[in-house]
Chains A and B, each alone.
Chain A
């Protein structure tokens, strides 16, 4: 798996720091990016970002092998703006009984004892000025994998899509969302700026 970690990114930054701080270096920098054939989306949109999590939770095991529905844990996805990270008690619904000897599962039990939630590292991160609504997309029949990729095959989750504006708009354009008289769309959003920015 192509793992693009913090370390790699720090390395780019350290290299660039040496280049100085003038307008000229900016041009050089862009040239350097070009020649080094860096992935633009990785640098500016964190595509393929796959950090270590406090608990080595495997989506492959839960969603893949055990065929658990995404909405069992991410229940907000069909009724709220946020899909949400499952609260501790949702994990414990099973893990009070299942695999209680695993050191990873014990972290959840410890969290309950301490009264402190697990601090997961956020992977899919939109800027504050872009307001995305999960429930809107889920109720329109967009699958989770359309944006998040084959999560059920990942041991460690990675950001598959760039989540850039162009990427969003591409989909909206291709599907004709908000196009006049589209009978399948009863509350169209289209590609207006205020669909996401307000």
Chain B
């Protein structure tokens, strides 16, 4: 087998080691003296002497601490003990099931609900991070009218009068929301429409999947979004659908995808081919990835149809590499008929129709595409939203109530929308913060976070989920539905309304419970209820629309643009920020993009060849222009980007906080191509991609499926058993270990945020990120190999490896890092004096140093945000080293429960935060001394290896090598 060369960035590709070291700079840059520390060494020593004395003296008097008990303790709450409640995520419109951890009345950590049929215990980074947004100090706490505070009752009276006036005048009232899957909210809207008959409800989603629903309306006679079953597909062909990262229901799809590719105990795995423009998370996991320009992509589906149905080609010929890939893909699809799935992320109805026809021909419907229980997620109506603007401009809209969606920011003509809102007499924004839409609205009502409100959801036909509050609204807020009730001049609470709805509409569908209360309690405890109902199957029909002509025209236009020197534009959303709803969440801003590893910014991604041809360099700021809009963005030279195209992420440039990060790319939407002009300025990316390097060592081990079948240990280098100077540790009780399956890991970064929430990991900010000072305890290393124009990508979660012979332990002068009797490498914060020798000596580069007192620093201090801190984990102060503790608090909690119940620990009692959140179930933790534990079984897998086995550190965290189905 040919030896692969891995690289993390283009600078590293082909560079020799010495020059690379120079480029990367030092691992611990010392030239950045912190602004607040202007002391010389001598002064420091003087102060140290003084500090000692003062410390010893003030130590004589302990501060008097008060202990305040509850006046009346709520019965269900035990101070110091966490409780978990099932609810439904509203981080995006997928509606995953959650179990939220509540400590002393505060929600502090989000976990996936293992029983939930969609997410099956997984969560994504966004879902994990939403808990921080409750404690956002920028949240609105009082209602506003024209920017001035007013009483909520006055506002309600004003609004009701305004709505009545609009009804009397016969003007339209528009309820503009984000995609709604809540059946009770839909009922409420229909009641609203009875009261105010001129009302229209419009759901707006910036990156909608409306085209798929429209295609099914045309091709199947029913406006549905089918449920895709990636777990049933032996071959998945995706046309720019980022189904593992952002598309429709990424947590659900990631679990299905990982299940179809899991190798434990079998030698079959599904195959995945991706045609796409930018390098997405999904594309980077593909077995074969074909870069195509956005205008070429629709022809891919059409060409595949032509080849499969053996029709003579009438279509323009695509570039040779694409044509070759098409012929291969068609042959594979043919051999996987009925076991294949084609999906497309396109917003063009014609392309979705072509994909539908292709799936029809392949027999996917009923097998890999479920039409009986279609998805109700992300329901929006693009056409109605587009028509709304002109109606508002004409003055035929009398009242506009907006919640969920943020059209002034996210519509392609946001400023025009804001302008048109002035022509509407009554505009009401129900929102968390004073965002773009709120600033253009007459009335603003502070709205509760989803973890403070009652709601429900029905993400699929036959699946009903409840969203219950975890905390009373911490500010004077109420839920959007509650506001709607008040605007209907009703006094009832939404939880009563919700319960009544469930009693009337959902309870009659079930047989298991005799009375409603027991049914409701069961559904509330589980978080969901499945009715088993199915939709009638729509039959195929002739679409009656021309598919080919518009797609070919678009292709010709795209080609002309490329030939004339413009770049074709592909807008996409990032795994962290998605459509920008949570852009003020610092955890998500600081989550490195899975592929580019950039934080705190968006950029114009351009392929290496295109950049070279245009004299553009990584970090050059360019002006990106369409006919109507222009924004300035730095160039990011992205391996794998299709030639002569540019990919730009939306969701950035939100101007709701003190500072906007990145640029808003929504104004570019609608344009198919852009011109790019160098401004001469430069930008330094806050990126983690060069932090830590393989230095040519076999850190990542991979094989092809064929090689794996011949030899399960294929690709594993052979070493002589490393000599050791140390006597082995005796681990008579437990021996904790972790196995991470690199074949399952999709690199989504949910674990990083889960760990951040669990372990009080601080946010350091954009500037500190540039100085290699990120604090994440678990990072996902992304490695490229082979051709820079279309590299192979591999992900490897990297955390403290808990080495048996840990290099950090031998160099610590104060024994602040020592080995535990259960095989863990312990970091003792209160012993650490901050020499950083351990980080220097760590071959895995997983130790993190607190350069500042992040929790108390002036810039980051936010007493409201401190409410999210986990009281079971110490908050580290300045000058202390930290790293993955293997969730010591979870191990202790597991042992405490076992001890209280007088039993031994069972496998699965203790789950790591990263393991719990992983949507792909790639991480397994457990006791290696228990031969029956899941982790012990994983440790027997022939794919098992230790990173840097040859240096003899003997890690307790081990990996199963990656297998590609190529």
Contacts and interface: CB of A to CB of B under 8 A. Distances in A.
B858 interface: no
Interface residues on A, range: 35 or more
A26 B53 contact: yes
A79 B76 CA distance: 13
B64 A51 contact: yes
Interface in A149-198: 178, 180-181, 186-195, 197-198
A61 interface: no
B885 A194 contact: yes
Contact of A186 (B78, B824, B874, B904): B904
Interface residues of B, number: 57
B74 to A, nearest CB: 10
A187 B535 CA distance: 51
A88 B71 contact: yes
Interface in B571-592: none
Given A76-B79, A181-B732, A190-B821, A43 B60 contact: yes
Contacts of B68: 85, 117-120
Contact of A89 (B58, B71, B818): B71
Contacts of B41: none
A122 interface: yes
Nearest to B734: A188
A17 interface: yes
Nearest to A16: B57
A130 B730 CA distance: 26
Nearest to A196: B892
A166 to B, nearest CB: 14
Contacts of B829: 129, 197
B820 interface: yes
B822 A192 contact: yes
A182 to B, nearest CB: 9
Interface string B106-149: 00000000000000000000000000000000000000000000
A122 to B, nearest CB: 4
B49 to A, nearest CB: 4
B730 A180 contact: yes
Nearest to A118: B69
B83 to A, nearest CB: 11
Interface in A80-99: 80-82, 84-90
Interface string A1-21: 000001001101100110011
Scoring A23, A118, A192, A193 by chain B CB atoms within 10 A of each residue's CB, the highest score goes to: A193
Contacts of A197: 826, 828-830, 874
Contacts of B889: 131, 198
A32 to B, nearest CB: 11
B61 A85 contact: no
Nearest to A78: B900
A80 B79 contact: yes
B805 to A, nearest CB: 18
Contacts of B892: 131, 133, 189, 194-195, 198
B826 A120 contact: no
A87 B50 contact: no
A114 B874 CA distance: 35
A25 B65 CA distance: 30
B726 interface: no
Interface in A91-125: 111-112, 115-122, 125
A190 B824 CA distance: 14
A9 B822 contact: no
Nearest to A165: B830
Contacts of B64: 6, 51, 121-122
Contacts of A6: 61, 64
Contact of A23 (B53, B873, B875): B53
A122 B904 contact: no
Contacts of B826: 192-194, 197
A125 B62 contact: yes
A133 B894 CA distance: 12
Interface in B33-87: 49-50, 52-54, 56-62, 64-73, 78-81
Scoring B69, B830, B895 by chain A CB atoms within 10 A of each residue's CB, the highest score goes to: B69
Contact of A117 (B69, B78, B875): B69
B802 to A, nearest CB: 11
A148 B81 CA distance: 22
B59 A43 contact: yes
B53 to A, nearest CB: 5
B824 to A, nearest CB: 7
Interface string B284-296: 0000000000000
Scoring A9, A116, A195 by chain B CB atoms within 10 A of each residue's CB, the highest score goes to: A195
Interface string B772-802: 0000000000000000000000000000000
A63 interface: no
A133 B897 CA distance: 11
Contacts of B54: 21
B69 A9 contact: no
A192 B824 CA distance: 10
B757 to A, nearest CB: 16
Nearest to B65: A122
A146 interface: no
Contacts of A72: none
Contacts of B898: 186-187
A127 B80 CA distance: 16
B903 interface: yes
A193 B79 contact: no
A145 interface: no
Nearest to B73: A87
Scoring A30, A78, A190 by chain B CB atoms within 10 A of each residue's CB, the highest score goes to: A190
Nearest to A30: B56
Scoring B57, B822, B826, B902 by chain A CB atoms within 10 A of each residue's CB, the highest score goes to: B57
A140 interface: yes
B966 to A, nearest CB: 43
A194 B824 contact: yes
Interface in B677-697: none
A62 interface: no
A128 B61 contact: no
Contact of A87 (B60, B69, B899, B900): B69
Contacts of A58: none
Given A23-B53, A88-B72, A119-B66, A187 B899 contact: yes
Nearest to B732: A180
Contact of B60 (A12, A140, A191): A12
Given A46-B62, A129-B830, A89 B50 contact: no
Nearest to A20: B53
B78 to A, nearest CB: 5
A157 B248 CA distance: 61
Nearest to B817: A193
B80 A81 contact: yes
Contacts of A82: 79-80
B900 A135 contact: yes
Given A23-B52, A76-B79, A181-B732, A121 B61 contact: no
B78 A76 contact: yes
A194 B81 contact: no
B211 to A, nearest CB: 50
A48 to B, nearest CB: 13
A186 B734 CA distance: 11
A17 B60 CA distance: 11
B833 interface: no
B69 A86 contact: yes
11 contacts: A89-B72, A117-B69, A118-B69, A120-B66, A122-B65, A136-B896, A186-B899, A186-B904, A188-B895, A193-B818, A197-B826
Given A125-B65, A194-B820, 6 more contacts: A26-B49, A85-B68, A121-B64, A121-B66, A121-B67, A186-B899
Instruction: Please provide the 6 A-B residue pairs with the shortest distance between their CB atoms, ordered closest to farther.
Output: A180-B732, A198-B888, A187-B895, A81-B80, A82-B80, A80-B80
Interface of A: 6, 9-10, 12-13, 16-17, 20-23, 25-26, 29-30, 43-44, 46, 49, 51, 76, 78-82, 84-90, 111-112, 115-122, 125, 127-129, 131, 133, 135-136, 139-140, 178, 180-181, 186-195, 197-198
